[in-house]
Chain A
Amino acid sequence: MSQMVYKSPLVTATFKFCQVLADFFVKLYQSCVSETSSMPREIITLQLGQCGNQIGMEFWKQLCLEHGISPEGILEEFATEGTDRKDVFFYQADDEHYIPRSVLLDLEPRVINSIMNSPYANLYNPENIYLSKHGGGAGNNWASGYSQAERLYDEIFDIIDREADGSDSLEGFVVCHSIAGGTGSGMGSYLLERLNDRFPKKLIQTYSVFPNVDEISDVVVQPYNSLLTLKRLTQNADCVVVLDNTALNRIAADRLHIDTPTFAQVNQLVSTVMSTSTTTLRYPGYMNNDLIGLIASLIPTPRLHFLMTGYTPLTTDSQVANVRKTTVLDVMRRLLQPKNMMVSTPVHRQANHCYISILNIIQGEVDPTQVHKSLQRIRERKLAQFIPWGPASIQVALSRKSPYVQTAHRVSGLMLANHTSISHLFERILRQYDKLRKREAFMDQFKKEAIFSDNLDEFDNSRETLQQLVDEYQAATRRDYLSWGTQQAPAAEKM
């Protein structure tokens, strides 16, 4: 009896301990259940229209090369040990082959068919390829593309939703399109609006190809299409990487010495830019592991999110490197030269324009101290003119190179820059639009579609938005930008 009493404290202690233990295990179990395993910040690519699909295809080609993935999506033997992150842009099917997180949309079959006949046909998930049933295309008409997309809403978003659900922590969307055509611009505009509603928290980045102004385009309604698209790009995208066809052709001709650059050659430039700008996501370092982190610091205010790009050194397959010395300073200096910019703006016109912010992505074996020295040099020599109202924001992200792609250069660099002179592009579009609009040229085609059936307010609306954008860029060159919002207060706010 007494022994029992004697034991009891021990017994209770043991009991308590058991309870604590049990609690612990329950918690452990709960946490196991509640936590979804954390995963990469996936990015879904939407390729719209003829141009978008062409760019996209080049982009995927490049990614496959860099990750050592064969055109069929099979990981090459030599690439099995890689430390890269393929899961940002790819996912693995049941048979282990890599599938791009990509959605291919077009209203006419030509480009997509050519893709399906290429070696990369088996790469894509066939369910993600959507071709309009009647295959008539948008006829270079924004309104047509827009309203067709409206009609196809359910089918398109089935695909997108499926993709989005298939990813664990979706970072955002990348949209490839041109703003001049019908499908890319019209359908793109519609999608941008809808994506914004549907995924309000997700990042939307676009690679938008601007038309070449040097040659007379076969698409006469370019200014209309551009204007209408730009409104959506301004309001619904988080970040627009401007790919100016004019500049791309110029670069191809001047820098690469190709007299008549083909689409493929130009698109390769584009794909280089695209792959490099995502390189820090795919080759993880100790920094810059998310897209938003890269972009957020570039964009001061909601509308000023149109980025120029520059890349150096540029080579093509056929050409041996003509750039001999690639130090960090060298690369960064070259990047600041206008001739390497993939947006062509008149250079010497009232040189008030300035950089708002710059992000340099440097690839290769780089010592950070060199980067620092280069930055200092650039700032001391005032190689770049910065906004007077904010910090001279040059940021540098270092990244590894793909081990599977041999390049002749030790260091290469991509610049993403927010520069006020980009407003020239918009001004030009505005001027051209005004010219067309004055004559009410080609309005009939637009009036056919529902959105313009009643009135042409949408045009005016878009013009106003674009004008405000231009104004804001102009304002950003001035000191008093901080108090810019006050003067024109209410008007700007009524969106």
Chain B
Amino acid sequence: MAHLKGKVDQLTRQLISTITGFEKGDENFALCLQFAQSNFRYHQFLSVDSHHTKRQLEGLCTKLEVHSEGERAETLRELASKFLQSPLHEGEGETEDTATDTHYAVLSLLCLLAQSPTKNEYQPTQQHLVEEPKDDFDWAGHLLDGENILHFSGYHSDTSSEEEDFPLDSDEDSNAEDNKDDDASTVEDKNQSLSVVRLVSENVSMETTLEHDRGEDWLTDNVMVQYWRGQGQNDVRGPHSSSNLLRDWSSYQVRSGETYAVVGQHVITEYQLIREILWMLSGVSDLFLFNKTDSGFHLKDSVRLSHLSGASLESCVQKLIDLANHVHDLHTFVNKVVSSCCRPLDAKKPTLGSQTFQAFADSLSRILGDFRSDLSHLEREVAKQEKSDCVTVSSLLNTLSPWLPTMDAVWDIFTAGVQPTAQPPGAKGNISCSNDVSRLLTALYDGVVLQDSLGQSSTHLVSTLLRLLLETSRPYLNIIGQWISAGQLSDPASEFVLQRNESIKCLDETFWERAFTLNSPAAPHRDVSNTSLSSAGLCAEEEGWEQAFEDVVEATPKFLRPVMRDVMLTGKSMELLQALGRLPEVLASVGAGLFEDKSLYELFVDSLKDVLGTVPSQTQGVVEETTLKAHIFVEHLRTNNRYRGTEDHLLRINFEAIFSTVFREKEVEKDPYDLSCLGCVEDSYVTPIGLLFRRCLYPHVRRRYQLVCSRLLDILKTEYKLMDYLNSMQHFFLMSAGDSMFNFYTQVFDKMRHQETWNNPYNLTLTLQEAMQSRHEHVNRLFISMETLPKSRERSTVGATDSIRLNFAVPWPVDLVINSKSQDLYNQVFRFLLQIKRAKYGLDQLRFRDLDKTALLTVSPDDDDLSAVMGEGETMSRSERLHRLHVLRFRLAYFVNSLHNYIMTRILHSSGLEFADEIKEATDLQQVIDVHARYVHTIHEQCLLHKKLSFLKGAVTQVLNLTLTFAMRWDQGIHNISGKSLTEMETEFSRCIQFLASFLNNIIKRGSFPFAVQLTFALVTSLPSNTKSSDRFSY
């Protein structure tokens, strides 16, 4: 190569003077020369990398193949190999040095020249240099064939901002403008391979057309066509038949259909399209090929590719457009959340400020970030044009295909979980945050389960979504954890499904029921309906509670529904324990080592990891990454500021500090419970998601529930004597303390019978307490008050005792179970029992002698006188009346006894035993309350006091009334009872009995009131020979 040296030297000098303008002898000139020479000598120009050159050629060939120029690629390859085979210097032809460095140097020079043709000062004198190889290889002959075609509409890239947008970092599109002044060569470097094709054509054009055409034409050839100004070249043609598809198709259509008209079309290249697609995906909304409307991106109507029909283009791009839309939506959402959490809580849209949404947004932005980085990577790949898999829309689609389902799924979740809430702002007045939150979580869970059930193919997707779900549910789980482990419901954004009703104090008896209300607008409405219910509609109330619970469950995120009950109970129990002042003790005894140092979420994640068998190992990488990120961020800001001309060092330092702490915090926080480890879930992943939650989350909640609730129940039972009070209720209200109550009510009844004043509440209380004193506890809590009855009820004799109201002052924690509502029911039962007892007592006290004796006292020698006294209508003899009164008494007594027997046995024994059993098995306070309420309702119903049974009750009351009337008449003596009134009584009684018997019988046959079988049976058998009695009483 020595012979070259002189020439090179000379050329170098020439080059320096041309570029720099220094004169020979200048100091600078010497320096430049030295630099250039050393560069030539020791830099890449000296030693050509044969492999690199080969690769370049190979790339070129591929490029040609891509452009359906297979022949040409073949030729090029052939020529290159031929060149390499042939000896370089003709003179020394015998040398065997084929494919020497020199060969490669020549080739590489060609390539390099092709890369930056504009930088090359073209000199026609150098023509001979080129001509030398020309002799060997027929470059021109080969390449001239496609000269025209090789003029693509413009791959040139020396201007314009588009080029700068390529390395666009996802977050900064504003600085695109500012980057204009960036060194163009860097851009060029990036686009090296991109320009290879152009280089070839350039080369050719240089050789052939240079002499006559150097100005305009060159420019038009090399400047990027401003397709965004509508300067598309409609007449782009290719030799390959498929590249003219569009034209052929449209001409066919023009020919065949009369309605078809070619509208203005922008024919663009696929590369342009891909570029724009990538921008679109990365979130740029201001694009030429795509319109951004409210409903998302659309491909412009007029855009066409030369080798695709409009419809097929659209179908190709549609998927990507959808993807872009989704990404855009998600991105907007994230921005919204981020901006709203910087602002004070927005009254209108509390949802966005909630922790769950923030977590969701955070998690989303991470996914989006991944996507972006993937995208920019891809962009780089595309720009290189090295690989064949990124140069068509469909290959782009292929490359992005892993993202498609992910984004689809995420977007589905997003629409299901967030979208509807975001739409109607302020439409409903106050949008409940908890609903939105739970909808979001439910949607997430559903999404995960759906994907999970789709099988193995989507495991990666599942793990992504699972992670999303976990991260999003973290605040929610934290709220729950805090509530059930410390008894505090701290929920600033009111996103939890329940809300502490501040108006209800802990010491209130309705605490259990009302203290926590559903956190939604529907809640107050239901509350009202609850209170407005009359005490009679008991079952309805019960259902009401059930309904309320249903509501709560409904409003809970789906994956928490199975444990929601436990969570509620535990939370309430905790609060109750706190009110009892037992919380620390319980925490000490129960919570040690369980919830002390770990939150529910942490426990959950821990056991999740255990189940999945993954070990966190990537923390190190994360740390580095984050610090790096911080730097980049700061760097960005700085450049930004510099361009604005406002470089402020203090600000920069400040920013640096902020970001580094932010990132450090993040990394610290992330450290122990980072979920990234879940990325490797796929391997070990076999269990369905539902099972995963059941195994990992529910046990923690359940364990807590068991501990707390059973402890609370224990405390209530042992220290607050819950069972004692329940027994007392039975003793007093249900009269299971038969003998003592007997003493009480017989005194009252006696007074009533003798028409003394009996209804002084003080006396009654005193009587009651005295009767009970010796045998029962809690008597002092018992007192009687009188209620004024409505007039209509006062008249009926049997209802006289209804004014008695038994009050039992239940102390605080116990009154959660025995609340005033159930006391009302107890009282109703009590009054009914009192009525029956009174009827029974009244009948029992009747003496045959009393009926007769009065007759003896009033001197009535014979019956004629008597009937004269009684009136003309008297048809029955005295003895007959006596006899029939006796029999009537017997039958009444039987009825009352049966009723009494049934009621007492039923409510006290059967139901009582069931109640005792159930309460023994109850594990939490709620169950105890339920069991008790159900028990009270049951006995209430069994006492025929339920609304539905009111007609039965009416008949029973009628008979009881009759009984009392009967007893009263009996006391007055036989001769005050006329045969007529006697018959009336008999008829009435028979009627009632018959009605009751037949009705109950029907019901029993239908199986509606299984508990009434006994009573029915008694009544049915009490009907004497039916026909006969009705005959008798019919007259």
| Residues of B close to A297: CB separation below 8 A | 890, 893-894, 897
A300 touches B890 (CB 8 A): yes
Chain B's nearest CB lies how many Å from the CB of A283? 9
Interface of B, helix, strand, loop or mixed by DSSP: helix
| Residues of A close to B891: CB separation below 8 A | 390-391
Chain B's nearest CB lies how many Å from the CB of A232? 14
- A369 interface contact, C-beta 8 A: yes
Q: Mark A299-327, 1 if CB is under 8 A from B, else 0.
A: 11110000000000000000000000000
B840 touches A293 (CB 8 A): yes
- B843 interface contact, C-beta 8 A: yes
Which single residue of chain B is at the shortest CB-CB distance from A293? B844
B886 touches A391 (CB 8 A): no
| Residues of B close to A289: CB separation below 8 A | 738-739, 742
- A92 interface contact, C-beta 8 A: no
B770 touches A38 (CB 8 A): yes
- Within A184-203, the residues touching B (CB, 8 Å) are 196, 200-201
B909 touches A368 (CB 8 A): yes
B1032 touches A38 (CB 8 A): no
Which listed segment binds A: B398-406, B443-451, B758-766?
A: B758-766
A390 touches B770 (CB 8 A): no
- Within A159-213, the residues touching B (CB, 8 Å) are 196, 200-201
A38 touches B887 (CB 8 A): no
| Residues of B close to A301: CB separation below 8 A | 848, 883, 886-887, 890
A31-B760, A39-B743 as given contacts; A376 in contact with B1017, CB under 8 Å: yes
A486 touches B877 (CB 8 A): yes
A289-B742, A483-B880 as given contacts; A368 in contact with B763, CB under 8 Å: no
> Out of B847, B904, B1017, B1022, which one reaches A375, CB within 8 Å?
B1017
B897 touches A485 (CB 8 A): no
> Out of B736, B762, B879, B904, which one reaches A486, CB within 8 Å?
B879
- Within B811-833, the residues touching A (CB, 8 Å) are none
Chain A's nearest CB lies how many Å from the CB of B369? 71
Which single residue of chain A is at the shortest CB-CB distance from B846? A296
- Alpha-carbon distance between A302 and B767 when the two chains are bound, in angstroms: 34
| Residues of A close to B847: CB separation below 8 A | 200-201, 238
> Out of A38, A302, A369, A492, which one reaches B747, CB within 8 Å?
A38
Which single residue of chain A is at the shortest CB-CB distance from B770? A37
| Residues of A close to B853: CB separation below 8 A | 200
> Out of A284, A290, A391, A486, which one reaches B1021, CB within 8 Å?
A391
- B133 interface contact, C-beta 8 A: no
Instruction: Name which of B743, B878, B1022 has the most chain A CB atoms within 10 A of its CB.
Output: B743
Chain A's nearest CB lies how many Å from the CB of B928? 23
A interface bracket (residues with beta carbon within 8 Å of B): 35 or more
Which single residue of chain A is at the shortest CB-CB distance from B886? A301
- A489 interface contact, C-beta 8 A: yes
> Out of A372, A391, A398, which one reaches B1022, CB within 8 Å?
A391
- B500 interface contact, C-beta 8 A: no
A286 touches B736 (CB 8 A): yes
A38-B771, A289-B742, A301-B886 as given contacts; A389 in contact with B1024, CB under 8 Å: yes
- Within A362-414, the residues touching B (CB, 8 Å) are 367-369, 371-372, 375-376, 379, 388-393, 395-396, 398
A372 touches B1014 (CB 8 A): yes
B1025 touches A479 (CB 8 A): yes
B894 touches A391 (CB 8 A): yes
Query: How many chain B residues have a CB neighbour from A under 8 Å?
Result: 69
Q: Mark A463-489, 1 if CB is under 8 A from B, else 0.
A: 000000000000000010111111001
Chain B's nearest CB lies how many Å from the CB of A465? 15
B738 touches A287 (CB 8 A): yes
- B910 interface contact, C-beta 8 A: yes
| Residues of B close to A369: CB separation below 8 A | 910
Q: Mark A11-51, 1 if CB is under 8 A from B, else 0.
A: 00000000000001001100110010111100000000000
- A493 interface contact, C-beta 8 A: yes
B738 touches A372 (CB 8 A): no
B863 touches A490 (CB 8 A): yes
- Alpha-carbon distance between A479 and B1026 when the two chains are bound, in angstroms: 12
Which single residue of chain A is at the shortest CB-CB distance from B883? A485
Chain A's nearest CB lies how many Å from the CB of B964? 16
Q: Mark B767-788, 1 if CB is under 8 A from A, else 0.
A: 1001100010000000000000
> Out of A27, A288, A482, A492, which one reaches B762, CB within 8 Å?
A27
A39-B743, A293-B840, A479-B1028 as given contacts; A396 in contact with B901, CB under 8 Å: yes
- A285 interface contact, C-beta 8 A: yes
- Alpha-carbon distance between A374 and B679 when the two chains are bound, in angstroms: 70
Chain A's nearest CB lies how many Å from the CB of B899? 12
A297-B894, A297-B897, A390-B1024 as given contacts; A284 in contact with B770, CB under 8 Å: no
Which single residue of chain B is at the shortest CB-CB distance from A369? B910
| Residues of A close to B742: CB separation below 8 A | 289-290
- Alpha-carbon distance between A249 and B398 when the two chains are bound, in angstroms: 109
- Within B634-678, the residues touching A (CB, 8 Å) are none
Chain B's nearest CB lies how many Å from the CB of A26? 10
A285 touches B762 (CB 8 A): no
- Alpha-carbon distance between A35 and B771 when the two chains are bound, in angstroms: 11
- A74 interface contact, C-beta 8 A: no
Q: Mark B874-916, 1 if CB is under 8 A from A, else 0.
A: 0011111011101101110111011011001110111001000
A300 touches B886 (CB 8 A): yes
A286-B735, A479-B1025 as given contacts; A485 in contact with B747, CB under 8 Å: no
B877 touches A489 (CB 8 A): yes
| Residues of B close to A482: CB separation below 8 A | 883-884, 887, 1032
A302 touches B848 (CB 8 A): yes
- Alpha-carbon distance between A293 and B883 when the two chains are bound, in angstroms: 21
- A256 interface contact, C-beta 8 A: no
- Alpha-carbon distance between A492 and B886 when the two chains are bound, in angstroms: 15
| Residues of B close to A368: CB separation below 8 A | 905-906, 909-910
A485 touches B880 (CB 8 A): yes
- Alpha-carbon distance between A293 and B840 when the two chains are bound, in angstroms: 8
- Within B284-298, the residues touching A (CB, 8 Å) are none
| Residues of A close to B739: CB separation below 8 A | 40, 85, 284, 289
Which single residue of chain A is at the shortest CB-CB distance from B912? A286
- Alpha-carbon distance between A24 and B905 when the two chains are bound, in angstroms: 40
| Residues of A close to B770: CB separation below 8 A | 35, 37-38
- Alpha-carbon distance between A388 and B1028 when the two chains are bound, in angstroms: 10
B863 touches A286 (CB 8 A): no
A35-B763, A392-B1021 as given contacts; A372 in contact with B887, CB under 8 Å: no
Chain A's nearest CB lies how many Å from the CB of B675? 59
- Within B976-1035, the residues touching A (CB, 8 Å) are 1013-1014, 1017-1018, 1021-1025, 1028, 1032
A286 touches B878 (CB 8 A): no
- Alpha-carbon distance between A201 and B847 when the two chains are bound, in angstroms: 8
Chain B's nearest CB lies how many Å from the CB of A376? 6
| Residues of B close to A390: CB separation below 8 A | 887, 890-891, 894, 1022, 1024
Chain A's nearest CB lies how many Å from the CB of B10? 125
Residues of B near any A CB (own CB < 8 A):
734-740, 742-744, 746-747, 760, 762-763, 766-767, 770-771, 775, 840-841, 843-849, 853, 863, 876-880, 882-884, 886-887, 889-891, 893-895, 897-898, 900-901, 904-906, 908-910, 913, 1013-1014, 1017-1018, 1021-1025, 1028, 1032
Listed from nearest, the 9 A-B pairs whose CB atoms lie closest are: A391-B1022, A485-B883, A284-B739, A302-B848, A300-B890, A38-B743, A286-B738, A301-B886, A392-B1021
Residues of A near any B CB (own CB < 8 A):
24, 27-28, 31-32, 35, 37-40, 83, 85, 196, 200-201, 238, 284-290, 292-293, 296-297, 299-302, 357, 367-369, 371-372, 375-376, 379, 388-393, 395-396, 398, 479, 481-486, 489-490, 492-493
A-B contact pairs, 19 of them (CB 8 A): A27-B763, A200-B853, A284-B739, A293-B840, A300-B890, A301-B883, A372-B1013, A375-B1017, A389-B1024, A391-B891, A391-B1018, A392-B1022, A393-B1022, A479-B1025, A481-B887, A483-B1032, A485-B884, A486-B880, A493-B879
A481-B887, A483-B880 are known contacts; what are 6 more A-B pairs with Cβ within 8 Å?
A31-B763, A38-B771, A286-B908, A299-B890, A389-B1025, A392-B1021
